[in-house]
Structure 1
Amino acid sequence: MNLYKVGGAELNQTPLDWNNNFQNILQAITTAKEENVSILCLPELCLSGYGCEDAFYSPNTEQQSLKLLGDLLPHTKDIVISVGLPLRHKNKLYNTVALIADQKILGFVAKKHLAGNGIHYEPRWFTPWEGGEVSEIKLDKSYENTLGASTFPIGDLLFDVNGIRIGFEICEDAWVANRPGRSLYQNGVDIILNPSASHFAFDKLDVRKRFVLEGSRAYGVGYIYANLLGNESGRAIYDGGVMIALSGNLLAISKRFSFKNCKVTTATFDLDIARLAQIQSHTSNTGTSNIEVINSNFAIPQTVPEKHSPSEASWEHSKYIKEEEFGRAVALGLFDYMRKSYSKGFVVSLSGGADSSAIVTLIHLMIEMGVEDLGLEGFKEKLGYFSSLKDCNSIKEICNKVLTTAYQPTENSGDVTFNAAKSLAEAVGATFYNVNVNPMFKGYLNAIETAIERELTWEQDDITLQNIQARVRAPSVWMLANINGALLLSTSNRSEAAVGYATMDGDTSGGLSPIAGIDKNYLRSWLRWMEKDGLDGKWNIPALSFVNEQQPTAELRPADSKQTDEADLMPYDVLEEIEKLAIRDKKSPQECLLFVQANHPDTPRETVHQWITKFFRLWSRNQWKRERYAPSFHLDDKNLDPKTWCRFPILSGGFASELSDLK
């Protein structure tokens, strides 16, 4: 029998954090060896980190990666591993993977299809490798001692390791129509490795599953997909999700969103089954002759038959409903952002409304999920720099140290929001302060009225009076963050970002904006789910009922004005609909009008007209605000982050002609 135990590793790497990245890779190799794995696939660019941005231009990034590659070689005895790194060749930079067999580098495969859409920016740094091309990379002679040589094959390579043929599809290579797997199949490949850096987005796992299973079935091969894990560099969250398939059958998939630094998933390939599938395919096997085969006489260790437990191959344990995906993704993102920035917890201005309450709930999940995954001591150990956690003996005690909240009323705040904020903070165990900012509000009011020699009124100065109340809250929460050495979280959501319904230097204040990538309509439904259901009732928070009973309001006008967000803007479900049409789908104002009217036939056309006009005017007017938002997490294809997803001019015509032509 041709049985080989294989594995894929998910790694929580950090760009340019050489020691961390090396230790995680070393742990993966050690774990794989302990489990008798013979072939191990590691994620894309795992030596340098995927999110190095313009640091990829620095020669030091390549030099440090090659140094780590040399340091790894002594640890690869009796095993085949793939490891990703950036490499320069003929004055061009390539995204490459080295295949190592028994302490020897066999060669480097370069990525052919670069991810250049959405959050990805690979064509800025890397050059795509032409299919069928093979070359020789010549490194500095100084690398001979550590790498065993200074000259290696690079390009479109297939590796024959003592009769086992191994090829690569590097992340985006598998997402395109002309994927390299076909050429590999035509050259008799046995195993395809897919080192990936595939960021989390809702429902994306289904797409990955399709190309892994279809690739393994269509090409009659063993297929190993390995992904990054955690918040690597700030905005993108990687969910892991190693998949191993053979001839169209899923053998193993890891549970996603782990809080661990390294996780190895294994399965056993019967290559006789894969080869039989290729023999029976009756498809022309005329190969691409330019694919060069690199031979190695290393005899990959075989394994004995073994049975996989149902959980290893279960699709359901890694496939979550959207509500749980959202909670797990942001919880992991927050945890890694906190520890990688060495922040001693978070500070949240807790208004008692949906946005700040959602953030507090997500931090609650961060602690619950982290302790479940790592154990109480493991959770504290991973935050070792946060010394005040060492004496905590429960999740609530940890939350009391990690999360500081402040309710900051003015004369326009009410008991409903205070009770909601206090009840939620107590329910999760957060530190709670009631910081009255009305004196500061009055102080600014008096100072300006004295300077301009007139009284400010709601009739004449509505926006001014609202904004100053929001802004006077920022200094005190910044003070709490500074006192604690903590990270202040901005509470603005994506719906507010779209239309600028936020006060700059007020509710936008913070070093991280964790919900700026999600719309208000979804946040409200998610909070209701967390109140009553949670994760099968496991982590639900009944105290959220005080939040969910309210209509969202900025609570900045006098109580008798009955201020609500939707009265100021439009219904949140409509706002989400228009934003999706206008920004994601790039529809014109007239097209948006037709779509929205069709979806809301009972709404007067004049009202829909007003909604469309308001959205496009506010969108254009407030690009400068979106440019100033704190970094946010990427969660779906409706992101408005101008630095990584949705670019729009700060100054524009504001759709004036299009809006004047609305019919």
Structure 2
Amino acid sequence: MHLVTVATCQLHQWSLDFTGNCERILKSIAIAKSRGATLRVGPELEIPGYGCLDHFLEGDTILHSWEVLVQILQSEEARGIVCDIGMPLTHKNNHYNCRVIIHNGKIVLIRPKMWMANDGNYRELRHFTPWDKHRQTEQHSLPGMVRRVTGQTHVPFGDAVVATEDTVIGVELCEELFTPASVLPVVAGGQWADRGRPHIDMGLDGVEIFTNSSASHHELRKLNRRVDLIREATQKIGGIYLYSNQQGCDGDRLYYDGACMIALNGRILAQGSQFSLSDVEVVTVTVDLEAVRAHRTGSSRRMQSAQAEPYTRVWIDTRLDGGQGIRVGEEETKVKEVEFRYHTPEEEIALGPACWLWDYLRRSRTQGYFLPLSGGIDSCATATIVHSMCRLVAQAAEAGEEQVIADARRMTGELENSTYLPTDPREFANRIFHTCYMGTENSSPETRKRAKDLAEAIGGYHVDLNMDTAVSAVKGIFSFVTGKSPQFKVHGGSNAENLALQNIQARLRMVVGYMFAQLLPWARGKVGGLLVLGSANVDESLRGYLTKYEWVDGSRTLAPGRALSCDIVPLYKPLNLRSCSSADVNPIGGISKTDLKRFIAWAETEFDMPILRSFLDAIPSAELIPIGADNAVQSDEVEMGMTYDELSVFGRLRKVEKCGPYSMFGKLVQEWGSMLSPMEIAEKVKHFFFTYAINRHKMTTLTPPSIWYVEQCSQLSALTRLHDNRFDLRPFLYPSRFAHQFAKIDSLAKELPNRATQPGADKAKVD
């Protein structure tokens, strides 16, 4: 046997928090050493934090990163252990995303990232240059501050591996695990030759331990892909794989979900938590290098290895086995494969945004959250996520997490009270979670009661008020200036009057809500202010079913059995009735309505909150217009001209499958053709694209979501991403009638057969 103990970690780093980041790095190294580890790997760009964005273009960020590295090099913690640390640096006037390998106060190798994540949420090519000199190194001239500490003037910089006396270590950075090839095709002997991913090339050259430092954000089921890739990598080539990831909110909209892991020959040996409030989590395993060597005895691997191009080896005068060499006759340390813990999608929705909200709250140094509870399912979902956050805080406090306890004491004004522990979720919620029902004469008793009951179930501090006086005052100003008094449509008013009167209520809720958020702590005899929570789901954002600069109070819902208007909204009628462009953060901004309903159904049982059932049974309504003489009330789906299930499908096809109007029509004819005629499908597609186009400008003002979701499995409804213009880079001024595209749709719809009228056609609801 040839036993080595290795460590990987996940850290709650924070962009530009150089002091805090350094402390967490040193703590992780100390924990690894205390467990006997001789190799430690940390997250990507862990010194400045991954989410610095355009701060990476500033010289200060590079300077301060070097200063922190000097502290680590001089620390006692970093002696006697090989450390793989992430930071940006400049080489020949180019910025690189690098791993710096250090040992006993010396820099061994600087390994720059070769493949950049540059789609979706990531913009690495904006900030860094990829290293494209594969298997090549240059000499990097060190800054004076480093020379004085290490005695080194130059160190190797480039694509190399690190050799100790007993093994070889190779570095792979995040995206490089996901790429189909490690280098571009090259001409070899007159033929095009393809290369594998870095771990394949390094493994063929004798690398036995691979480190991967990542800043991978949470998406539904994304963890499955990481695990599959790591298992496949080590099963194929053999080896020990140390995966490290950042965790928490580091200052942007993303939540990095940890889940660091250690794998051996296709088996996962250890796993870190995916959702945790702990600032530092270290995973260690003792493994046998002989197991790697035994795995690599296959003939095809040996033939390919003999032909592999060599990497430059940078040598360290140490052994990862601690100098004990091969142990003969000693009982083998048994390391069993663990059954990897995956959360269900509903659990991910409960835990991911909750962890993000906690990080945002404690790092913003505010005293809590303020949420308008409308009695609808969207604000209900946001409140339930806050409840999940309070549960996590209580669990962490019970476990003795000192940082969580200290943060909770500060925000509750109990900083001097050394005995206060936030171990009761409802008691803690009453201190930091404030809710408000902002009703008008158009609000129903059912929604008012549901809001109050939900706040009581969670333990939040609830306020119930009416805004009719404020609404009448604004109407009075208009009437005084113009001599005109606008009326709702049910009272004989025009569409313009009807829309304006609804928007008055929506925007006044923003003004009143922000006032309460700023002054409620003061009214309760406390100091500080509250962060405003939004509650608009991704589908409504896509459709533009929101009021620009409106208070975010989610979708109100009517009691079951109340009559709905049979008036279908005319095609091309623009609506601007709903949330949400005014809040501080929006925890559900990347989640579809369908997914939210499944989450609430799960939480009803999991959190023992029977009140949630009433939100699921109710009918979505904005409650912004009076009930007419026929007792017909407002319905979100009727006013949108589409159901939420249909909207999820439109979002998936537009964003993920990259469909324009014509190709979306073609796909939906296949999906919905047994339920709807081609002409009906054509009208739905045209209606969606028209309303999307005329409301696209609203995406420039959306409240940032706390987390991005992508649904990639069949357990939830559709693949969804947030559609705001910071992520979805499309214009916001469109030729909204899409004359050419719609004409082609109409022409094709007339030619296609109507399968919906054929015998046996499926008349089920479209979803």
Interval of TM-score (by shorter of Structure 1 and Structure 2): over 0.9
Q: 1:260 aligns with which of 248, 257, 278?
A: 278
Say yes or no: does 1:440 pair with 2:460.
Answer: no
Give the drift of 1:301. 3.7
In structure 1, what is the Cα distance between the partners aligned to 2:174 and 2:423? Answer: 42
1:587 matched residue in structure 2: 659
Structure 1 residue 290: Cα displacement = 6.1
Q: Which deviates more, 419-428 or 130-139? A: 130-139
User: Of 135, 139, 146, which aligns to 2:138?
Assistant: 135
Alignment partner of 1:635 out of 704, 709, 717: 709
Classify the secondary structure of the residue corresponding to 1:137. strand
Aligned positions, number: 655
Report if aligned partners of 1:86, 1:95 keep a CA contact under 8 Å in 2: yes
Displacement of 1:596: 2.7
Aligned residue for 1:284, secondary structure, equals helix
**CA displacement 1:373-407 (0-9 Å, x = unmatched):** 34386433133431435656622111011110000
Distance of aligned partners of 1:447 and 1:128 in 2 relative to their CA distance in 1, 3 Å threshold: same
Corresponding residue number in structure 1 for 2:682: 609
Distance, in Å, in 1 between the alignment partners of 2:206 and 2:610 is 58
Deviations 1:321-365 (A, max 9, x none): 110011111111111111111121100011010111110000000
- 1:646 matched to 2:728? The reply is yes
Q: CA deviation at 1:132?
A: 1.8
Question: Which residue in the other structure is 1:355 paired with?
Answer: 378
**Kindly tell me: are residues 425 and 339 of structure 1, through their superposed partners in 2, closer, same or farther at Cα, counting changes over 3 Å?**
same
Q: Structure 1 vs Structure 2: percent identity of aligned residues?
A: 29
Q: Map 1:356-371; keep pairs closer than 5 Å.
A: 356-371=379-394
Q: Bigger shift: 236-245 or 178-187?
A: 178-187
Distance 1:127 1:374 in 2: 43
Cα pair 1:348 1:489 within 8 Å, conserved: yes
- Residue 660 (structure 2) pairs with residue 577 (structure 1): no
Tell me if the contact between 2:590 and 2:708 (Cα under 8 Å) persists in the aligned partners: yes
Cα distance, 1:299 vs structure 2: 2.5
Is contact 2:242–2:261 with CA below 8 Å preserved after alignment?
yes
The aligned residue for residue 501 of structure 1 is 545
Cα deviation, residue 368, structure 1 = 0.3
Trace 1:417-566 onto structure 2 (pairs within 5 A).
Answer: 417-459=447-489, 460=494, 461-483=497-519, 484=521, 485-506=529-550, 507=552, 508=580, 509-531=582-604, 533-534=605-606, 539-559=607-627, 560-566=631-637
1:134-166 deviations in Å (ceiling 9; x for gaps): 111112223212344231111001101123100
Q: Does structure 2 retain, via aligned residues, the 8 Å contact 1:352–1:547?
A: yes
Structure 1 counterpart of 2:638, one-letter code: A
Report the counterpart of residue 284 of structure 1 in structure 2. 304
Change over 3 Å in CA distance of 1:297–1:309 after alignment to 2: closer
Q: Residue 114 of structure 1 aligns to a residue in which SS?
A: coil
561 and 627 in structure 1: CA distance in 2 versus 1, 3 angstrom threshold:
same
> Which runs of structure 1 show a deviation greater than 6 angstroms over 4 or more consecutive aligned residues?
303-306
Q: 1:154 to 1:511 in 2, by over 3 A?
A: same
**Displacement after TM superposition at 1:6 (Å):** 0.9
Give secondary structure in 2 for the equivalent of 1:445.
Answer: helix
Distance in 1, matches of 2:677 and 2:542, equals 24
Cα offset for 1:276? Answer: 2.0
The 1:386–1:305 alpha-carbon spacing in structure 2 relative to 1, beyond 3 Å, is farther
Instruction: Kindly name which structure, 1 or 2, has the bigger radius of gyration based on alpha carbons.
Output: 2
Q: Quick check: 1:314 aligned with 2:339? A: yes
Letter in 2 for 1:49: G
Shift of 1:99: 1.1
Separation in structure 2 between the aligned mates of residue 80 and residue 26 of structure 1, nearest angstrom:
13
Residues 346 and 487 in structure 1, CA contact (< 8 A), matched pair in contact too: yes
**Contact 2:394–2:423 at 8 Å: present in 1 too?**
no
Preserved CA contact (<8 Å) 1:134 1:291: no
1:471 to 1:599, Cα distance in 2 relative to 1, 3 A: same
User: For residue 496 of structure 1, what is the amino acid of its counterpart?
Assistant: E
Letter in 2 for 1:652: Y
SS at match of 2:296: helix
After alignment, is 256-265 or 446-455 more displaced? 446-455
SS in 2 for 1:63: helix
Counterpart-to-counterpart distance in 2, 1:50 and 1:294: 27
TM-score, L = length of structure 1: 0.95
Distance change >3 Å, CA 374–CA 187, structure 1 → 2: farther
What is the identity, as a one-letter code, of the residue corresponding to 1:158? V
Q: Which residue of 1 aligns with 2:38?
A: 38
Choose which of 106, 109, 122 in structure 2 pairs with 1:107.
109
* Letter in structure 2 aligned against 1:627: T
User: What residue ranges of structure 1 are gaps of 5+ in the alignment?
Assistant: none
Offset, 1:263: 0.2
For 1:72-221, what aligned pairs fall within 5 Å after superposition? Answer: 72-73=72-73, 74=75, 75-130=77-132, 131-178=134-181, 179-221=197-239
CA–CA distance in structure 2, aligned partners of residues 519 and 267 of structure 1: 40
Which amino acid letter does the alignment assign opposite residue 47 of structure 1?
A: I
2:262 corresponds to: 244
Report the residue type matching 1:337 in the other structure.
Y
AA partner of residue 650 (structure 1): F
- What is the alpha-carbon distance in structure 2 between the residues aligned to residue 301 and residue 374 of structure 1? 37
Query: What is the CA–CA distance in structure 2 between the aligned matches of 1:292 and 1:191, rounded to whole Å?
Result: 16
Residue 293 (structure 1) aligns with: 313
Structural RMSD (CA): 1.9
Shift of 1:605: 4.1
Alignment check: 8 A CA contact 2:205 2:310 kept: no
SS of equivalent residue, structure 2 residue 305: coil
Q: Is the 8 A contact 1:234 1:337 kept in 2?
A: no
- TM-score, length of structure 2 as denominator length: 0.83
Cα 1:90/1:247, change in 2 over 3 Å: same
Which deviates the most, 19-28 or 274-283? Answer: 274-283
Moved more, 474-483 or 636-645: 636-645
Distance 1:411 1:76 in 2: 66
The 3-state SS of whatever aligns with 1:60 is: helix
1:376 to 1:285, Cα distance in 2 relative to 1, 3 A: closer
Deviations, residues 615-663 of structure 1 (Å, cap 9, x unaligned)? 1111111222111112112122632344542111121222343123322
- Conserved in 2, the CA contact under 8 Å of 1:94 and 1:110? yes
- 2:725 and 2:248 map into 1 onto residues whose CA distance is 20
Deviation, 1:176, is 0.6
Cα distance 1:31–1:65, how it changes in 2: closer, same or farther (>3 A)? same
Tell me, in whole angstroms, the C-alpha distance in 2 between the residues paired with 1:133 and 1:628: 47
Deviations 1:556-576 (A, max 9, x none): 111233211111111110111
Partner of 1:626: 699
Question: Which one-letter code corresponds to 1:457 in the other structure?
Answer: Q
Structure 2: gaps spanning 5 or more residues: 182-196, 325-329, 522-528, 553-579, 711-718, 747-767
CA change 1:334–1:165 in 2 (3 A) is same
CA distance in 1, matches of 2:37, 2:104: 13
